[in-house]
Chain A
Amino acid sequence: MTDFLSGFATALQPVNLLYCFAGVILGNIVGVLPGIGAIAAISILLPLTFSLDPTTAVIMLAGVYYGAEYGGSIASILLNLPGTASNAITTLDGYPLARRGEAGLALLTAQISSFSGGTLGIVAMVVFSPLIVSFSLSFGPAEYFATLLLGLVAGASAIGAGPLKGIAMVAVGMLFGTVGLDLNSGYARFDLGIPNLLDGLSIVAVAMGLFGIPEVIANISASQSQEKPIAVNARAMYSAFRRLGTIVPSVLRGASVGGLLGPLPGAGPTISSFLAYSLERSTTRNPEEFGTGRINGVAAPEAANNAAAQTAFIPTMTLGIPGTPTMAIILGALMIHGISPGPQLVVDHPDLFWGLVASFWIGNVFLLMLNIPLIGVWARLVAVPRRFFFPVIVALVCIGVFGVSNSTFDIWMVLLMGVLGYVLRCFGFPPAPLLIGFVLGPMVEEYLRRALMISAGDYSYLFSSTTSIVIHCLTAGLLLWSILRGFRKKAPQPAG
């Protein structure tokens, strides 16, 4: 607790406050705009943060991430179009509420639930992070290898497109990760004689190419529906305050679901919000009212996705294992700054870790204070024609990636990854497992080879501690579950 309070000393420094504010505003904006997600925004912003202090950089990037969860609900409620994937479920009850003239109530519910969910997620992070750190400080290469393997399998099985597709994409991502100098032997792998490849593929180019460019290609020629978003002003929100009493249990349930699922590799805010909504339906006596505009149907998923957005940082920061592609990019940002997240980070750089956690709460307060009075502004932003955004994204991606190493080589890499990502997307292969494989792959190889070096090639060392056996069992269980789930899903439609 005192650690957390001391984090405010870091987070309240003017420069950190400024970038936290900038991060949450940007996050809110990309959340409000359907079609641009936090992951694209964060990879575009990455080059801009290289000149910053690492703490400030991560505070800003994290702000974009959880800020998008706030903004995403606004588009869901006013336009029936989810701003980000994790706000999709909010359209079910949020839009009907807005249609019958209660947009103010729906928006206020979403904002208050987001804030409460985020706050509870931060509390969970403050309580559990030190426990995980003290437990994982004893991890050796075998335990790290086991945890990373769990992260890879979770990344492969979470996409819901079948385990084979996930494994194939993770393998390709890990292959991309092997490009460059091999640290153990000094051998240059797949460098094709190009000096730029010796350092490996740039995570900025890979992330921008896989997540930013395919989004542009898929949406650039789409004609936008002419439907006007529902008008709303701040007064409608203030007058709705007294009607919020009934959402308290929904918020608590939603935040619990999100807080528990957030740290799990591959689960994340989107799955949390869907589960919270179905849990909410199952706890009421008249579930048929859901979908017609119940504020509990807005409160639970919004509390869940914000809680999950905060607790997702627990494994990323304390173990160095990102559960979602966005976390993989934030991990990559830290590594570019020469900081490798893990238990040692929390011990060696408590100001960074606790400053970040404290900034989360400050950012959540900023978002609440921004969104309620300024709701009219955000509502108008929903209506901006989206054709204006695509050239902006392409320009920011290309010039931004040039700045990483002041070379046009990375722009070509973005082009290659963008075309690959778009083609794979058209074939129904989501890019998230590829990025997770790309980030975790080199770490898996390093720990495996280090473990084998310690044990002189004896594989039983990998299973020599209770911790690693338990983690390997989890991995095997997860793999089995995703295979079985694949069979069950296909069963009702055998003829296809």
Chain B
Amino acid sequence: MKTLRDAGGGLLIATIGLLFLLGAGDMALGDLRNMGPGMLPTALSVVAIGAGLAIAVIEVLRGSGGAIGFDFRALVCVAVAIALYAVMLEAAGVVLTTIVAVFVLALARPQLRAAETLVVGIALSVFAWAVFVKGLGMPLSFLPDF
């Protein structure tokens, strides 16, 4: 099946450009001789929108798409694991956060090896605590503070 691979990326970039263009709306443009803070962001947004749309249009006209290998399950598992670190790390400490995150990451694979995952989680959390908290003095706790 032919998919519009480049076009998807082009539209994504054009969208990012549009968001930045809207955000730059209330910045002073200045003029070319004396640029304001909004000049470069506005110009770059226009370039991003133009290039993104051009990529999309060219691919639609040529119809030359490639296959997209998109692993939704892996994306969700990794994203959730990172989000867990963001939410839990300060409150729940290094060990609990890391063990939970390692299990979430293990769900990305076809079968769950529970015992192996637990061992990896414990070893990794102790290692991370030794390096970052003991070694580098980061203000994180080992276990949740009750």
Contact = CB atoms under 8 A, between A and B. Distances in A.
A225 B24 CA distance: 50
**Chain A interface, DSSP helix/strand/loop, else mixed:** helix
A426 B136 contact: no
Interface residues on A, range: 35 or more
Contacts of A423: 9, 12
Interface residues of B, number: 74
Interface string A17-38: 0000000000000000000000
Nearest to B3: A427
22 contacts: A48-B136, A165-B55, A168-B48, A168-B51, A169-B13, A171-B48, A175-B45, A182-B37, A187-B27, A189-B23, A189-B37, A189-B41, A190-B24, A220-B78, A220-B105, A221-B73, A391-B120, A394-B82, A400-B132, A402-B138, A408-B90, A427-B12
B56 to A, nearest CB: 10
Contacts, number: 197
Contacts of B74: 217-218, 220-221
A429 B13 CA distance: 10
B85 A398 contact: yes
Contacts of B75: 217, 419, 422
A347 interface: no
Interface of A: 47-48, 51, 164-165, 167-169, 171-172, 174-175, 178, 182, 184-185, 187, 189-190, 213, 216-218, 220-221, 223, 387-388, 390-392, 394-400, 402-403, 406, 408, 411-412, 414-415, 418-419, 422-424, 426-429, 441, 445, 448-449, 452-453, 456-459, 496
A222 to B, nearest CB: 9
Contact of A213 (B55, B66, B78): B78
A209 B44 CA distance: 22
B143 interface: no
A496 B33 contact: no
Contact of B12 (A221, A424, A449): A424
A427 B128 contact: no
A452 B68 contact: no
A178 B89 contact: no
Contacts of A457: 32-34
Contacts of B51: 164-165, 167-168, 171
Nearest to A419: B79
B96 interface: no
Given A169-B13, A171-B48, A213 B40 contact: no
